[in-house]
Structure 1
Amino acid sequence: MSQTIASAVRHELLIRKSRFLACVQPVAGRAQALEVVAGLRAEHPGAAHVCWALLAGGDSAAVDDGEPGGTAGRPMLHVLRQQALDGVLATVVRYFGGVKLGAGGLVRAYTDAVAQALLQADKVALLRWHGLHCVLPYALEGAVRRALDAAGARGLQVEHGPLVHMHFEVAGDAGAALRARLDELGQGRIGWPS
């Protein structure tokens, strides 16, 4: 099962006068990752590089930001993949200290910066949420609401018309069990439009 991290964690690494400011944090996807990277560029205008790697919902990215090709983004991405993470952005802001590290030194620096930050991170199981929609008579609304609360459903939206339409999300593979429970509760009076 994939994991994500609970919150952002930072780590600073000094190597031959260069500062590597690493951060790993949970993100929803590429759009949020790009916002974070833009914020880092604004926050650190004197930095030589803002390199980053992303794994989020099958979307991945590895950006070297001016470092020699394959020496920053890909090693950072490799660390995220090795730890089976998803929904995580790794960034490293580098302030150049005047001493060139060479390709091997850069790979080690970026890898170590992200790995050290991840050592401090709280990893949590990544839950995928699936949307469901059911239609029911008014007489069942209270009982269905209680069943949804008991199942840990979230994002409930209710529309009242001739029938009650409920839209909600359930975690992981709980959808099939919840649907079976509601079918039993409704005794054939709950519909599941696609």
Structure 2
Amino acid sequence: MNQRYPVPAVAVHTVQDTIKRSLFIAYLAHAPCPDSAREFIDSIRTRHADATHNCWAFMCGAPGDTARVGMSDDGEPHGTAGRPMLNVLLHGGVGEIAVVVTRYFGGTKLGTGGLVRAYGGMVSLGLESLPVREKIFPAHLNIIMEYTHVTVFKRLIEEHEAVVTHEEYAADAGFTITLPQENVAALRQALTELTNGTVLIEKAGEPA
């Protein structure tokens, strides 16, 4: 499982192009689940109810993950729109994404090959300029240690991309930290070595 990957950083990203007098408009959005993808698709179909076609595809998972995908040619010849759009999404390096390509027919037929290139090309064009952010799957840990280790501990957690969300000082020093899931094992090993095995590390619930 990918522990981090890019996802769309804006509500909706739009690009457009005119191909043989047909206007193509691509809308790309963050879609963490199929329900959010379908809601976005329906909003664009409503917005462009007068369009010749509103073809779409979505991939609700990490880049390349085919577990939750969908597509539609919306009246274009079978396999000329939804499939090439989904193929571009699957290889685009961005996760949790939905796209609708709206077409206003301009009077010149593109042929099946031309349609495949047009619809796939619009998704590629959108991905080229799409603002993204990194999605990280966090882990939350409770840590208790002797005071003598605190200074080095705070340096270690920075090296492992962890932040302290709560701290408490009693007989020992206690901390709740959040860090990328992929860094937990390395930090656990580093803290065990630092404290000669005396550190207490437990999973914590998500902060309120």
TM-score (norm 1): 0.70
Matching residue's letter, 1:190: L
Query: Relative to structure 1, is the Cα distance of residues 165 and 80 closer, same or farther in structure 2, using a 3 angstrom cutoff?
Result: same
Match of 1:129 among 134, 137, 146: 137
Partner of 2:183: 174
Tell me if 1:46 matches 2:34. Answer: no
Runs of at least 5 residues in structure 1 that lack an aligned partner in the other structure = none
**Matched letter for residue 6 of structure 2:** T
1:75 maps to 84
Q: Report if the CA contact (8 A) 2:8-2:94 is conserved.
A: no
Equivalence for 2:39: 35
Secondary structure of residue in 2 paired with 1:21? strand
> Aligned ranges for residues 49-64 of structure 1 at < 5 Å?
49-55=53-59, 56-57=61-62, 58=65, 59-64=68-73
- The Cα offsets for residues 80-105 of structure 1, whole Å up to 9 and x where unpaired, read as 23334333333212223344433222
SS in 1 for 2:202: coil
- Asked if the contact 2:15/2:125 (under 8 Å) is kept, the reply is yes
TM-score (norm 2): 0.66
* Structure 1 residues 101-180: aligned runs within 5 Å: 101-121=110-130, 128-134=136-142, 136=144, 148=157, 151-153=160-162, 166=176, 168-170=178-180, 173-180=182-189
Give, in angstroms, the shift of residue 182 of structure 1: 3.6
- 1:7 and 1:192, CA in 2 relative to 1: closer, same or farther beyond 3 A? closer
Q: Aligned in 2, Cα 1:70/1:106: closer, same or farther, shift over 3 Å?
A: same
Task: Tell me, yes or no, if structure 1 residue 65 matches structure 2 residue 69.
Answer: no
CA distance in 1, matches of 2:162, 2:167: 17
- For 1:19, the equivalent position in structure 2 comes to 23
In the alignment, structure 2 segments of 5+ residues that lack a partner are none
Change (3 A) 1:60 1:145: farther
Match of 1:96 in 2: 105
Q: Which amino acid aligns with 1:97?
A: G
Q: Deviations over 1:41-88 (max 9, x none)?
A: 232232233222223232322222332221111101122233343333
The equivalent position to 1:10 in structure 2, one of 11, 14, 18, is: 14
CA distance in 2, matches of 1:169, 1:47: 46
| Post-superposition CA distance 1:8-42 (Å, at most 9, x none) | 54221222332210133444333332232122123
Q: Within the alignment, does 1:191 sit opposite 2:201 as a pair?
A: yes
Q: Number of paired residues? A: 190
Paired residues of 1:3 and 1:123 also in contact (CA < 8 A): no
Q: Return the alpha-carbon distance in structure 2 between the equivalents of residues 18 and 74 of structure 1.
A: 20
Q: What's the CA shift for 1:150?
A: 5.6
